[in-house]
A and B are shown apart, each in its own frame.
Chain A
Amino acid sequence: MHIIEVKNLLKKYNGLKAVDNISFSVKEGETFGILGPNGAGKTTTLEIIEGIRKPSKGKAFVDGLSIKKDKEKIKEIMGVQLQSSAFFEYLTVKEILTLFADLYANPADIDKILKNVKLEAKSKSYADKLSGGQKQRLSIAAALVNNPKVIFLDEPTTGLDPQARRNLWRLIKNIQKKGQTIVITTHYMEEAEYLCDRVAIMDNGKIIALDSPRGLIKSSGIKSKIMFRTVEDIPQSLIKTCRGRVEKKDHTIVIETKNPEKGLHNLMEYVEKEKIEIVDLRIMQPTLEDVFIKLTGKKLRE
């Protein structure tokens, strides 16, 4: 069952195609990531599905409801965290969430939500007194007040420090456990890899790849790297032992291989037998960043 269905979506701004004829579907209960650099069209895509923007062409359905005809019904079953959403001044965290909950037919228990997002202690504070991470948690809490079927998170961790980012990841993981579908945009590949069941990589308004993070890496054909240094000069025989492409610079060796487990095994056997001393052993597996670079020839954040 697909909870979101997007067909040939197109959005033009002054002749420029912000979203260029994209199609994808999201399965119920999965976390679906849209990964891409700034200006790739991630937010526009999300905002069209949320009903904030009108598509120039194409269709989209949320839980079988058309974004054109059933906009109001969709609002009841979706929770939205916008990229830049401030909240009302002079209302406390709890008052804000209660007000939002009151706008829905099936409001959730606000105290539970406050607990889930770890804002109980701040429930009586004004929203503008919160830290960046707390504000984002409030923003996500507000997306949960109607027990939504689908939750849209637009770059939820942008601008947060690493600590706050990890807290938010944990929070999103908790939401996943409840079986709600999450659609999340990000330009952090670690985030997409850590949180998403499937990822669509977007660039220039187009989806250039769509699969699970592992699947994307695998099908990209990018090899893992085994890196180490030797204390003494590198014997020629070692290089021969390691299958795959080998780079050598002074005492540093980088081996590229599709099968790092096997490669490492061979290497360890060899150094054991020949009594070669190696240091700084590392395995570098390809990331979505590498996939993105391979697909587009540019970095995610530039």
Chain B
Amino acid sequence: MKKFWKFTIASIKMFFRNRQALFFSLFMPIMIMVVFGLIDFGKMGSTRIEIVDKAKNESSEQFIEGLRKVDVLEIESTDDLEKAKEKLVKGDTDMVLELDKNVFTINPLNPETKKVKIFISQASIQQGQIGVTVIKEVFTNLEHELTQSKPLFEIKTEEVSTLGLEYIDFLVPGIVALAIMQMSLFSIIFVVVAYKKTGVMRRLLVTPIKSYQFIGGQVATRLVVSIMQITVIILLAVFAFNVNVIGSYWLIALLVFWGSIIFLALGLALASFAKTEEAAAPIANIIALPQMFLGNVFFPIEAMPDWLQGIVKYLPLNYLADSLRKVMTEGAGIADISGDMWGLVAWSVITIGLAIIFFRWQEE
């Protein structure tokens, strides 16, 4: 045990003194998160509305303010109808709404029908339609309010378990899973291949260190780094991007450990197939790249064609990302992620088995 600790401490020292490795392992996932976190994918489906406010009174101001609060709308107001139409033609806006001078001057005792003009363009017909629906809804509500009449029908839509999720909420657990994979897989392959190539492994082989002490030290080092890295990512997500992490942090830690072990074992197995560091990168990438894009990190696998889903749902990164996501965003407990857990169990058995079969201190 003493040897294991000494070796682990030395190995952690080495890791933190290697600035380049530190940069890639700690800052890359954060950079990815920041870059993707700043792109607001929620807005991509929204409708841009140019409001030509000719009324220019308190009512119209309030009306516009109200619209601004609607999530799916992006509101800009102007005075010039022609310019607004020009923007519509160019595709710089999806819809133009013209509010007449006296549109909101309503006499409740003698109501007359006011006309509200909406211009939409064929170029962004879908966004336009959404806008029209929303605007119609708004005016209907307004009418009920003003005429004090009760609507005959009320449609009640209930959303199930979205918890006000945004893309960043989806992304962060994915980034956590990705960081675990990259860190574990790459760093272990590189260190083992480098130690083999330079003769460090052979030198250790003639000392009384045991395989489990050497491997244990390497694994422990990476677990420490992974936990630190994930802590930084989650802190940043919570404080800078207002991501809600509602699940148990202990369960998250368990998944981080577990995922790390799977990819570390895989890395140890793969390290036997690379003779040089130059060969190690492509070998690691064969495993890492497809999972990065297909493994439930940046977009849900439900968005893929069915046949592809049937394959990618078995990827280790999918199990990890999915379980992390359920815990972090939905507050799932162990029972709720049992499906993913079984997947992780299966992959642990496979990768640790491969590591035992393929790991070698040296090429004979």
Contacts and interface: CB of A to CB of B under 8 A. Distances in A.
Interface of A: 50-54, 72, 75-76, 78, 80, 82, 84-91, 95, 99-100, 102-105, 142
A90 B209 contact: no
Interface string B228-271: 00000000000000000000000000000000000000000000
A50 B10 CA distance: 25
A47 to B, nearest CB: 9
A99 B7 contact: yes
Contacts of B90: none
Given A52-B205, A78-B206, A103-B207, A88 B200 contact: yes
B167 to A, nearest CB: 39
Given A52-B362, A88-B14, A105 B206 contact: no
**Among B13, B14, B208, which residue has the most Cβ atoms of chain A within 10 A?**
B208
B208 A91 contact: no
Given A89-B14, A95-B10, A52 B202 contact: yes
Contacts of A95: 10, 13
Contact of B199 (A54, A84, A89, A105): A84
Contact of A102 (B6, B14, B203, B362): B6
A113 to B, nearest CB: 15
B113 interface: no
A85 B204 CA distance: 10
**Among B10, B207, B208, B364, which residue has the most Cβ atoms of chain A within 10 A?**
B207
B157 interface: no
Contacts of B199: 82, 84-86
A18 to B, nearest CB: 13
Contacts of A51: 205-206
B156 interface: no
Nearest to B199: A85
Interface residues of B, number: 22
Contact of A103 (B13, B15, B17, B209): B209
A239 to B, nearest CB: 58
Given A99-B6, A102-B6, A142-B203, 11 more contacts: A52-B205, A54-B364, A82-B199, A82-B206, A84-B198, A85-B202, A88-B14, A88-B200, A90-B14, A91-B10, A95-B13
Contacts of A142: 203
Contacts of A104: 207-208
A103 B3 contact: yes
Contacts of A82: 199, 202-203, 206
A41 to B, nearest CB: 16
Contacts of B7: 99, 102-103
B2 interface: yes
10 contacts: A75-B206, A76-B208, A85-B200, A85-B203, A90-B17, A90-B18, A99-B10, A100-B207, A103-B6, A103-B7
Contacts of A85: 198-200, 202-203
A85 B364 CA distance: 17
Contact of A75 (B10, B208, B362, B364): B208
